[in-house]
């Protein structure tokens, strides 16, 4: 599919006066990382992520038909019950970017009400779940105007719109493993939207766990958007994009053959390569904290001592995502509680696992 397939033409808002739509949309954690992009939100390399379950955003979009067509967007934003004018510029930019694909936006007044299942300042990126939730709400309005739309088109366009809000958000529509970015080894893959990993996944990855250790609950020093830009003149950029694309081929084999040792090698290398890009950009920066490194070393010691398949990955922050298979949950949970949570801010951590994707909760 191309961009033009997502342009809505021939529609009428004549029979639609007002309504309210709620979506619950998960966060995701990348196994092979997206870091570096071109306009408009086209990734420099392919990425793949586990969709999560317990970390989600709940967004209600209320819409009301305007009396006459207007030239600007009109919306209010509430986050966890509080009016948030400082969230408006990001949403206005998103609306501007997607307007050509959903031209009915200016026909309505909107109220966006959003809340996260995870603490706001936990350092967990909320843009993936937040932007995908808003994209899905907008798609539900489009579905009202065009009831013939198929579910496949609905999901593809929701992911396409979400990508224009935040790149990783395009991987938060469906589950359990989502690929974003053209890749010869992944059938149906696209730079424009995320697709479900198309091959049969080995049972070792069923119900995979992700316990998120909240090492630093503060705001990030450097946003992902700024980080992506630093890849423009990065001395190692081309090598990094090639490494990630090669890792997609490797992890694709691993997902099918269930080789957990290889899985660990790819996932941990990806996390450290992402942070190595940050440390070698100009300007350089470090998002890991001393406790991030302490946890990584503890995980390595534990793995050597027990032959467990525990491993870690990192987002663009100090928190550590601890990944492990379902059949090790008791062993690893004990280890986390007894040995790792002491390195978390106020002992905070979140038990999550692979999930199946977003869910519409209501449409009135």
Q: List residues near ligand DP6 by CB under 6 A.
A: 30, 33-35, 41, 47, 125, 127, 166-168, 224-225, 228, 274, 315-316
Burial (CB < 10 A; 0-12, 13-18, 19+), residue 27, is: buried
CB of 41 to ligand DP6, least distance (A): 6
How far is the C-alpha of 209 from the C-alpha of 50, rounded, in Å?
10
Which is closer to ligand DP6, CB of 136 or CB of 145? Answer: 136
Which is closer to ligand DP6, CB of 65 or CB of 196? Answer: 196
Residues 6 or more apart whose CB falls under 8 angstroms from that of 344 comprise: 213, 214, 215, 291
Which is closer to ligand DP6, CB of 34 or CB of 312? Answer: 34
Residues 6 or more apart whose CB falls under 8 angstroms from that of 328 comprise: 308, 309, 310
Residue nearest to ligand DP6 as judged by C-beta position: 167
Q: Are the C-beta atoms of 123 and 317 separated by less than 8 Å? A: yes
CB of 171 to ligand DP6, least distance (A): 7
CB of 162 to ligand DP6, least distance (A): 10
How far is the C-alpha of 119 from the C-alpha of 122, rounded, in Å?
5
Which is closer to ligand DP6, CB of 50 or CB of 63? Answer: 50
CB of 149 to ligand DP6, least distance (A): 26
CB of 127 to ligand DP6, least distance (A): 5
CB of 88 to ligand DP6, least distance (A): 17
CB of 266 to ligand DP6, least distance (A): 14
Q: Are the C-beta atoms of 302 and 339 separated by less than 8 Å? A: yes
CB of 43 to ligand DP6, least distance (A): 8
How far is the C-alpha of 145 from the C-alpha of 27, rounded, in Å?
28
Q: Are the C-beta atoms of 354 and 56 separated by less than 8 Å? A: no
CA distances, 230 to each of 40, 237, 243, 278 (Å): 16, 9, 18, 8
Which is closer to ligand DP6, CB of 70 or CB of 239? Answer: 239
Which is closer to ligand DP6, CB of 125 or CB of 135? Answer: 125
Structure token digits, residue 59: 């967004």
What is 337-355 written as a DSSP string? IIIIGGGSGGG-EEEEEB-
CB of 33 to ligand DP6, least distance (A): 4
CB of 272 to ligand DP6, least distance (A): 13
Which is closer to ligand DP6, CB of 141 or CB of 274? Answer: 274
How far is the C-alpha of 31 from the C-alpha of 323, rounded, in Å?
10
The residues facing 61 across adjacent strands are: 21, 112
The residues facing 111 across adjacent strands are: 62, 76
Which is closer to ligand DP6, CB of 46 or CB of 117? Answer: 46
Which is closer to ligand DP6, CB of 50 or CB of 108? Answer: 50
Which is closer to ligand DP6, CB of 6 or CB of 94? Answer: 94
């Amino acid at each position: 599919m191309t961009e033009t397939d997502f342009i809505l033409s021939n529609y009428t808002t004549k029979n639609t006066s007002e309504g309210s739509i709620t979506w619950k949309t998960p966060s995701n954690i990348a196994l092979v990382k997206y870091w570096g992009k071109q306009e408009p939100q086209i990734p420099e390399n392919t990425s793949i992520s586990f969709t999560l379950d317990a970390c989600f955003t709940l967004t209600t979009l209320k819409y009301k038909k305007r009396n006459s067509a207007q030239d600007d967007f009109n919306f209010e934003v509430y986050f966890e019950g509080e009016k948030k004018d400082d969230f408006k510029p990001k949403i206005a930019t998103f609306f501007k970017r997607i307007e050509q694909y959903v031209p009915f936006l200016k026909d309505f007044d909107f109220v966006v009400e959003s809340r996260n299942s995870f603490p706001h300042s936990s350092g967990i990126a909320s843009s993936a779940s937040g932007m995908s939730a808003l994209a899905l709400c907008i798609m539900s309005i489009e579905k009202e105007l065009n009831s013939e739309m198929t579910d496949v088109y609905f999901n593809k366009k929701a992911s396409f719109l979400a990508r224009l809000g935040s790149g990783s958000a395009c991987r938060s529509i469906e589950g359990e493993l989502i690929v974003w970015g053209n890749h010869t080894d992944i059938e149906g893959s696209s730079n424009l939207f995320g697709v479900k990993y198309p091959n049969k996944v080995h049972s070792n990855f069923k119900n995979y766990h992700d316990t998120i250790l909240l090492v630093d609950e503060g705001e990030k020093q450097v946003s992902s958007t700024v980080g992506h830009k630093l890849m423009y003149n990065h001395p190692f950029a081309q090598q990094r994009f090639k490494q990630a694309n090669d890792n997609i081929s490797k992890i694709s084999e691993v997902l099918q053959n269930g080789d957990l040792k290889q899985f660990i090698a790819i996932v941990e290398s990806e996390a450290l390569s992402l942070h190595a890009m940050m440390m070698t950009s100009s300007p350089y920066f470090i998002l890991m904290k001393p406790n991030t490194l302490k946890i990584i070393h503890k995980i390595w010691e534990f793995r050597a001592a027990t032959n467990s398949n525990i491993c870690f990955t990192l987002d663009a922050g100090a928190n550590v995502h601890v990944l492990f298979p379902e059949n090790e949950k008791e062993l690893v949970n004990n280890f986390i509680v007894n040995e790792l949570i002491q390195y978390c801010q106020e002992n905070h951590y979140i038990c999550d696992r692979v999930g199946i994707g977003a869910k519409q909760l209501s449409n009135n």
